[in-house]
Amino acid sequence: MTDPTDFTALTDDQWAQRLTPTEFRVLRRAGTEAPFTGEYTDTTTNGVYRCRACDAELFRSDAKFESHCGWPSFFTPLAGERIIERRDTSAGMARTEVLCANCHSHLGHVFTGEGYDTPTDLRYCINSISLTLAPAE
């Protein structure tokens, strides 16, 4: 029997039971939600953004910034070991995909060199549907 805390061992059928069809398409099939439609695109609430699939802490609200790209943007993850970055050559371009290190679900992509006035030269462009927000108390 699969250990329910080992998210990397879940089958597609198990993920499909845990997630809505749209969540499954984005998180498990590396889909993308439409720009300017996600619930966290313009959110300014203080708190911690977690992986919607496994609840792992990924980003803090103080690293979120307005990039006007249509998706929530962060200049750094909570900690480097919380995410996996891997080369993505789908859609006819070379990008860096961002995955949750705990469950290997697709979160979005990271871009560099765009000139945003942030402490890093990075923009973690993350699908809202890949996240949940735990507001600060």
Q: Please, what CATH class does the domain formed by 9-135 belong to?
A: mainly beta
Known catalytic residues? 125
The domain ranges of the chain are 9-135
User: pTM, whole model, 2 decimals?
Assistant: 0.92
Helical (H) or strand (E) element with 16: helix 12-18
pLDDT at 4: 55
* 8 A C-beta contact, residue 127 and residue 26: yes
Rounded to a whole number of angstroms, the distance between the first and last alpha carbons of the chain is 38
Lowest-confidence region among 46-55, 62-71, 85-94, 117-126:
85-94
| Percent of the chain's residues with pLDDT above 70 | 96
The residue with tokens 């249509």 is 70
CA distance 52 to 29: 14
What mean pLDDT comes out for the span 100-120? 95
From residue 47, alpha-carbon distances to 26, 43, 98, 132, 136 in Å are 23, 11, 20, 10, 4
